[in-house]
Structure 1
Amino acid sequence: MDIARAGVEPAVVKFYRQYMQQINDVTYPPGHLLVKQDVQDCLYKYFFDVSQNKYLPPARYQTRILKRIIQEIEKSCRDPDQDQVSDQLMEHMGYLSTILPPPESDDEAQQKHVHSYFPPLPLDEPGVQPILIDEARNLLSRGTNVGLRTWEAALHLAWYLILQRPEVVKDKTVLELGAGTGFLSLLCAGHLGAAHVVATDGLAHVCDALQDNVDLNRENNALLGHEPPEVRQLDWTDRPEIERLLNSAGRPYDLVVGADITYHPDILRPLAELLGLLKDRFPDIVILISAAIRSDTYAQFTSICQHQVGFRVVEQQCKIPEGLQYSGFFHSVATELKIVSLER
């Protein structure tokens, strides 16, 4: 389903991209647009008609969004003979009320759904393909759960790569550490056209979920005809497995990426040492790390990289625009996000 081909205003396309990503703070189009019958027809077709889109958000999310849409339309009605909420939207609201599960519980919040991450390409560009990630976005980040949802640091680095540094990925061999859901690896393999991507994570169940996301995108042609990422389990302290990984690439690694992988103090030194080994083996490799600054572990990591592994830590600028220019990979910057390159 390509809403950009429907001829609607960019504000509606942005609303659709936010809705399909299932973010909390969507930007509703102005009432004077929503009240138009052709816009309402478009909303029903693209937002709520399961026969047109098999990866619609869950019923509770749909209900919250549709309730607000109806409120905005009703507030904007000026001529009661012409301005009204369409029958399709009202009927779908009634349908949702019959299938809505009981009030949200922790169990419901942990359930997985397919989220569609549209890249920040122009809102009027036709044929923009999202990255599909089956995950629980409200998953509680406890223990081994951290790799089962896409975090803001990954979205931030994705924005940076696709808009500011696509050349470091195109036709290159890419290694992702702590890949989690595989979002960044799928971006590099599909939209950014890497020659080969190896997506690694340390936990077997995370690698299983990662492989499921790779399969999901391949089956839905979301990789734009490119080779899917290769999934491998990798313990950063397992030197023999690291050697096997480095020797099996077939060509030098050109880029290593990692997002939100500096959150636990016990993994900082093994991570820094692995990155040092990669730089020793492949001197021209580009290393990009993205992190949300929630504690002092990021400062500990950069200190180890500088003083014990011999890296220069160079902060990369990435400013997310406002308004309609903010057109995809939506994420909160309430917590400070940083991207650094590690250089020698």
Structure 2
Amino acid sequence: MDISRAGVEPVVVKFYRQYMQQINELSYPPGSLLLAPDIQTCLYKYFFDANQNKFLPPPRYQTKVLRQIIREIEKSIKDPEEEQVSDQLYEHLGHLSGIPLPDPSEEAQQLRVHSYFPPLPYDEPGVQPVLIKEAHNLLSKGNNVGLRTWEGSLHLAWYLATQRPELVKGKNVLELGAGTGLLSLLCAGHLRASSVLATDGLGHVCECLEANIELNVENNTLQNGRAPQVLQLDWTDREAIDELVQSVKNPGTSYDLVIGSDITYHPDILRPLAQVLGTLKDYFPDMVILISAAIRSDTFSHFTRTCIDEFGFTAMEEDVHIPDGLQYSGFFHSVITPIKVISLLR
């Protein structure tokens, strides 16, 4: 569904992109705009009609959003004889109200498709989202951390898409701790990498990675880009690391960019991760390394210190600019918790 072809105002397109990503804090258009019959028809078609859009949010989320839309419209009505909420919207709310809802704690564990739109102009036709099937509200811990997309991934995705796309276009990209695969899929599709290898240390996460890649291939969201490859990679397995390096060096190629997001959360993995990056940099000295993390503890500072003290890196923090208002057009995420992106130089 390409809402940009509907000819609606940018604020409605932004609202749609946020809705399809299923964020908690939506930027609702003003009621005076929602009151227009053509806008209400557009809302029903793109936001709520399952015959038009097979990746709609779940009923609980739809219900919350639709109720707020109707409240905003009703508050803006000045002439009840001429202005009203459309029958389609009221009827769909009634339909949603009759759907039995699972327990919220059970629903949080369910995998659902989220549509992550890249921050492209609102009037650009044919913008394809990155489709990620995940348990977005999962309270992740232990082996579950790779089953949802975290803020650090979205922050780095914004940075690459808006500020440094040249780091990816035509380059060979390696992602460490790829999780749901958002960054790898972004690089392979929208950012036009030559090749992408998405790695993770856990088998079940790699299975989810492969499923998300197939989901995007089946729905033609990679825009003819080459689909990422998936590899299970244990950072403590020196033989596996050597095989990875040789698989690239033997054909005479190299990795141009290594990325990782929210992979520095556990103290036990900090030195193995730094060592892997050091090894890769030894073999591919021109390689760019970008690591992103939401700063929830002191593990990120421990990681950077290990990289500097033990492996001879210099850490430089990148300036990531997240704008306000309509300029913030995709990969929506909260920055209440500070997020850093660093490049590791040597």
- Give the TM-score taking structure 2 as reference length: 0.98
* Paired letter, 2:306: I
RMSD: 0.7
Structure 2 unmatched runs, 5+: none
Aligned partner of 2:98 in structure 1 is 98
CA distance in 2, matches of 1:243, 1:79: 73
Match of residue 259 from structure 1: 261
Distance 1:187 1:5 in 2: 23
What residue in structure 2 maps to residue 147 of structure 1? 146
| Greater mean alpha carbon deviation, residues 245-254 or residues 228-237 | 245-254
* Aligned-partner residue type, residue 46 of structure 1: Y
Query: Which structure 2 residues correspond to residues 313-332 of structure 1 after superposition, within 5 A?
Result: 313-332=315-334
Q: Once superposed, which parts of structure 1, at least 4 consecutive aligned residues long, lie more than 4 Å away?
A: none
Structure 2: distance between partners of 1:100 and 1:226: 40
Which AA in structure 1 matches 2:255?
Y
Residue 81 of structure 2 corresponds to which residue in structure 1?
Answer: 81
Query: Do 1:60 and 1:100's aligned partners in 2 also have CA atoms closer than 8 Å?
Result: no
Once the two structures are superposed, what CA deviation does each residue of 1:185-208 show, in whole Å capped at 9, x if it has no partner?
Answer: 000000000000000000000000
- 2:273 is matched with which residue? 271
| C-alpha deviation, 1:5, in angstroms | 0.6
Give yes or no for contact 1:253–1:285 (8 Å, CA) kept in 2: yes
Measure, in 1, the Cα distance between the counterparts of 2:336 and 2:275. Answer: 31
Map of 1:307 onto structure 2: 309
**Contact 1:34 1:72 survives alignment (8 Å):** yes
TM-score normalized with structure 1 length: 0.99
Q: Where in structure 2 are the equivalents of 1:227-242 lying within 5 Å?
A: 227-242=226-241
Q: Aligned pairs, how many?
A: 343
1 CA distance for matches of 2:55 and 2:206? 22
Q: Distance in 1 between matches of 2:190 and 2:247?
A: 24
1:81 positional shift = 1.5
> Which amino acid letter does the alignment assign opposite residue 209 of structure 1?
C
Distance 2:104 2:13 in 1: 31
CA distances 1:253-306 after superposition (whole Å, capped 9, x unpaired): 000000000000000000000000000000000000001110010010010000
Deviation at 1:248, TM superposition (A): 1.6
1:4-43 alignment runs, 5 A limit: 4-43=4-43
Query: 1:105 offset after TM fit, Å?
Result: 2.6
Residues in 2 aligned to 1:336 and 1:98: alpha-carbon distance in whole angstroms: 41
* Aligned twin of 1:186: 185
CA distance in 2, matches of 1:333, 1:105: 25
What is the percentage of aligned positions where both structures have the same residue? 68
Q: Which runs of 5+ in 1 are unaligned?
A: none
Q: Equivalents in 1 of 2:53, 2:65: separation in Å?
A: 17
